[in-house]
Structure 1
Amino acid sequence: MPSRPPDTASDAVSDTASDAAICVAPAVPADTAPGRLPAGLSAGLPAALLCDMDGTLVDTEREWLLAVAALLDEEGLPSGEAALAPFAGATLADSAARLIEQHGLRATREELFSRLDGDFTRRVAAGVAVQPGALAFLDRARALGVPTALVTASERHLTDLVLETLGAHRFDLTVAGTEGGRSKPYPDPYLAAATRLGADPADCLAVEDTPTGAAAALAAGCRLLAVPTVPGIEPGPRTLFAASLVGLDPAALPLSGSLPA
């Protein structure tokens, strides 16, 4: 989410969840199992690990969607699954523009940006839950000597709040909001992180939970470990699905398919 209010509408595509069913994570696609590699055959150690934050490492995607739902409720607008779907993984800038262009709110983007940012920041400051297996997964990457970056669409001030929980020492660098150029679903933040780590994006493993983030990682040329919190990430030859990060080893992951829950 950009560190300043938006000045242009975004054409970015975002994705999915609901205020009533935000915690209902979709099952990994059943039709990806045929794409799994034979047992014991892995893609090898990635040149770098590039991790999304909200929803992937911490359960803040829920808080973000609750903030959007609260604003929609205040404006007397629907705030169910269909209404919230485009906001999952979206930036503050894109969300403020969407509220005006698609929901018809009569407010400036700056005003909506500020309202969303304030509510979401308060929710994050109250405390965030780390996703199961996230810290062990990051620590294993560090033990293996894999450079690790946090690549998030969240604002810098929100990112720094969450880093107090995750531990900044677990990351070699962080790319927040538009610090790497255009934010997700554009590839810019992943390309920026890979470049700063001196790694070829094709040799990097990105970890994402939403279609918006997945689109960014794949467009950058990264391999993708998808741990969905909302529906919509499509199977593909560079996409591996997992139900959670529990027990995963960055050095022993197949190229694609689905890992058993």
Structure 2
Amino acid sequence: MDGTLVDTEHQWLATVAGFLRDQGAPAGDEVVTSFAGAPVDDAAARLVRDHGIRIGLTRTATLLDRDFTARVAAGVAVQPGALRLLDRAEELGIPAALVTASERHVADLVLRTLGAHRFALSVTSGEAPRGKPHPDPYLVAAAGLGVDPARCLAVEDTPTGAAAALAAGCRLLAVPTVPGIVPGPRTAVVASLEDVELTDLPFPRAA
């Protein structure tokens, strides 16, 4: 969701950067982008453990969630090609699931923009045994759709999300917002969803 369907990945990274600056911690690009795709609780744990944040885990998570939610509530931009791709999936009879590391209340804000009717179900932070980069969110979504994960196409923009999708057995369509996703037999990388046609996906063809 964040960075693939709507441009919230940059809002999340801005949240992390602002938090680090407020706490007097280094907020360089390499540090900030390492949090791309991370759930709030995981990000808070890393900030406390690795970046010298002294206000505690609960307070850190609360501040991150409050700032990010406010940014999303103020409005999100739909990524180019996202609605066309979702509507094309519906035309072809392909069910869609929203799988995100964001909290439920953030996902619900985004669903208002995208149109909840475009999704058969959604899986948010805390609704699977483990979050991304573990495969659990995609496994839960595939089970909810009643399909084998190997028949699913995951759309991701960060290495964290990509790792989750591939570990679940999905094919991966990557639209990167940060470096680190490498093309492969089950991974296609595109610059924009505008470049994607579901009946002609850019994966290597069998010889």
Q: TM-score, normalised by structure 1?
A: 0.77
Query: d(CA) in 2 for partners of 1:140 and 1:252?
Result: 12
Aligned partners of 2:44 and 2:61 also within 8 Å: yes
| Equivalent AA in structure 2 for residue 139 of structure 1 | D
1:180 and 2:124 matched = no
* Percent of residue pairs identical: 64
Q: Which residue of 2 aligns with 1:230?
A: 178
Residues 86-101 of structure 1 mapped to structure 2, 5 A cutoff: 86-101=34-49
Query: d(CA) in 2 for partners of 1:121 and 1:221?
Result: 31
Aligned partners of 1:239 and 1:256 also within 8 Å: no
Aligned partners of 2:38 and 2:101 also within 8 Å: yes
1:123 and 2:77 matched = no
Query: d(CA) in 1 for partners of 2:134 and 2:113?
Result: 27
More helix by share: 2
Aligned partners of 2:25 and 2:52 also within 8 Å: no
- Deviation per CA, 1:193-236: give whole Å up to 9, x if none: 01111111111110000000000000000000011111001222
User: Structure 1 247/232 Cα, relative in aligned 2: closer, same or farther at 3 Å?
Assistant: closer
1:80 and 2:32 matched = no
Task: Please give the secondary structure, in 2, of the residue aligned with 1:250.
Answer: coil
Q: Which residue of 1 aligns with 2:56?
A: 108
Q: Which residue of 2 aligns with 1:25?
A: none
| Equivalent AA in structure 1 for residue 183 of structure 2 | P
| Equivalent AA in structure 2 for residue 224 of structure 1 | L
What's the CA shift for 1:239? 0.4
Query: d(CA) in 2 for partners of 1:120 and 1:224?
Result: 27
Task: Please give the secondary structure, in 1, of the residue aligned with 2:193.
Answer: coil
Farther-moved stretch of structure 1 (210-219 vs 99-108): 99-108
- Equivalent residue in structure 2 for 1:145, among 80, 85, 93: 93
Structure 1: tracts of 5 or more residues without a match: 1-52
Q: TM-score, normalised by structure 2?
A: 0.96
1:168 and 2:116 matched = yes
**RMSD of aligned residue pairs (Cα, Å):** 1.1
Farther-moved stretch of structure 1 (178-187 vs 206-215): 178-187
- Equivalent residue in structure 1 for 2:12, among 51, 59, 64: 64
Task: Please give the secondary structure, in 1, of the residue aligned with 2:185.
Answer: coil
Structure 2: tracts of 5 or more residues without a match: none
What's the CA shift for 1:251? 2.0
| Equivalent AA in structure 1 for residue 128 of structure 2 | G
Aligned partners of 1:137 and 1:247 also within 8 Å: no
**How many residue pairs get matched?**
205
Q: Which runs of 4+ in 1 moved over 6 A?
A: none
